[in-house]
Amino acid sequence: MNIHLKLVGVFTLVMSCFSVYPQAQNNPMLRMNYVLTEEEAVQELKEFNKRYSNKKEWEKWANVVREGILKGTELDPLPEKTPLNPIYRNKRAYAGYTVENVAIESLPGVFVTGSIYRPAEIKGKVPGILSPHGHWGKPDDYGRFRQDMQIRCATLARMGAVVISYDMVGYGEMREWGIEHRKPRTLKTQLWNSIRLLDFIVSLPEVDESKIGITGASGGGTQAFLLAAVDERVAVSVPAVMVSAHMFGGCVGESGMPVHKSKNHVTNNVEIAATFAPKPMLLISDGGDWTKNNPSVEYPYIKNIYGFYGLEDRVENVHLPNDVHDYGINKRTAMYPFMAKHLGLDINKVQDKAGNIDESDIAFEHAYQMEVFNSVNPVPAHAIRSNADIWKQ
């Protein structure tokens, strides 16, 4: 497949995001989609680099960037953290791991549905990993039900982590009862949901709250670096196929609120990702999307910031020039050893005799098996079913 066809494929996958909220793209405070050319992005990074030349200067600016995210999403101050009231359903056992359906209330009546993957045997405290999905929208290749989502969550569980995948705003079960993606405050709701899922995972008695990771691709990658920027409890971050200096995210769930720009600052996703320094971060990039320049542009820039701490080896980049925009096998096999190294997981449990990652024993489930709510267990009567009602509380 030539690069033109690859890019056409990427375009098709994400067009539903790019066109969902055109009025937002006319807002001068928003930086959406391809705001800059690749050349303009390089020049902007050169200008940004003049802001800081040492750790103290960088940390002062990093706090401005973090504040910009929270203010831009209307999460400063943070809302009250009300009871999560977890609902568990239908635990299944497979080879080396279990899966259980779960829902929490991120706000009263706002149900966030997901799946908990656990190691088959747990001794003591184990790491926890959040796994947000991207914005692929095909009905048969969708959200947390996607095969690649299930594979990576199950494999990480077999390595020894408790992993939670969860529906993005307007996807999966949330969409079924009326919550839509194409709304102005989607990013606010999504980031808050991720913060509450982090509250939930650290509350589990088997999870070591000092060993929390997050990884996602595309829009899930955006969610990974946004949450890692604003919540210090994240210890390891692996944003896949999303950190770019010239592309800012095309979904309202990524850039539909002014997280990159205010009257007092301008930033981009490279700086947002870099606020995670000096904690371990892996950038996964490919030649078939907007991360194609990671080895020469974004990664060196972030590595320089890690250098302020003398810890350049804490940030890595795996670039796959012949890959396209996904979280496929090549990207997963790059992520697993990084998570194992920095969270203390046992990668030997998922390797064959030759030392290759073996995902062959993962059971692929149908969406109906993964649902928390159905005709037998309906959505609670007090569930909020409209985006407009979420933030009226």
pLDDT tens digits, 74-112: 999 999 999 999 999 999 999 999 999 999 999 999 999
| pLDDT tops 90 at residue 169 | yes
pLDDT score for 140: 64
Split at pLDDT 50, 70, 90, the class of 63 is very high
Residues pairing with 282 in the sheet = 316
Beta-sheet strands, E only, within the chain: 87-94, 97-107, 110-119, 126-132, 137-138, 141-142, 162-166, 207-217, 236-240, 281-286, 315-320
For residue 386, the SS3 value is coil
Residue where the block lists tokens 């709304």: 183
Q: Which band of pLDDT confidence, cut at 50, 70 and 90, is reported for residue 24?
A: low
* CB-based burial, 139-156: b 16+ in 10 Å, e otherwise: eeebbbbbebbbbbbbbb
Q: Please tell me the distance from the alpha carbon of residue 61 to that of residue 45, in angstroms, as a whole number.
A: 14
Name the residue with higher pLDDT: 164 or 27: 164
Q: Does the structure show a pLDDT above 70 at 18? A: no
| Whole-number Å distance between alpha carbons of 151 and 163 | 11
Single-letter amino acid, residue 81: K
Q: What is the DSSP string of 217-275?
A: ETHHHHHHHHHHHH-TT--EEEEES---SS---SSHHHHSS-SSB-SS-B--HHHHHHT
25 pLDDT band, cuts 50/70/90, is low
Q: Which residues contact 66 (CB under 8 A, 6 or more apart)?
A: 229, 230, 275
Distance CA 144, CA 115 (A): 8
Q: pLDDT at position 178, please?
A: 86
In the chain, what percentage of residues exceed pLDDT 70? 92
Answer yes or no: is pLDDT of 20 > 60.
no
Look at residue 271 and tell me whether its pLDDT is greater than 90: yes
Give the CA dihedral 47, 49, 53, 55, nearest 10 degrees.
140
Which SS3 state, helix, strand or coil, does residue 363 take?
A: coil
What is the predicted pLDDT for the residue at 8? 37
Residue with tokens 């210090």: 232
pLDDT score, position 143: 87
**Pairwise CA distance, residues 65 & 303, whole Å:** 18
Domains, the chain: 87-389 (3.40.50.1820)
Mean pLDDT for the stretch of residues 161-168: 96
* Of residues 345, 386, 327, the one with CA closest to residue 146: 327
Give the pLDDT score at 393.
67
Tokens (6 digits) for 163: 């992993």
**Can you give the pLDDT at residue 14?**
44
pLDDT at 15: 41
Q: For position 26, what pLDDT does the model report?
A: 72
Confidence (pLDDT) at 139: 63
- Please answer whether residues 174 and 167 qualify as being in contact, where contact means their C-beta atoms are separated by less than 8 angstroms: yes
Split at pLDDT 50, 70, 90, the class of 184 is confident
Q: What is the mean pLDDT of residues 233-238?
A: 98
Confidence tier at 2 by pLDDT (50, 70, 90): very low
Q: How confident is the model at residue 6 (pLDDT cuts 50, 70, 90)?
A: very low
pLDDT at 27: 86
Q: What pLDDT score was predicted for residue 365?
A: 95
pLDDT for the residue 177: 86
Phi, psi values for residue 165, rounded to 5°? -100, 150
> What confidence score (pLDDT) does residue 17 get?
58
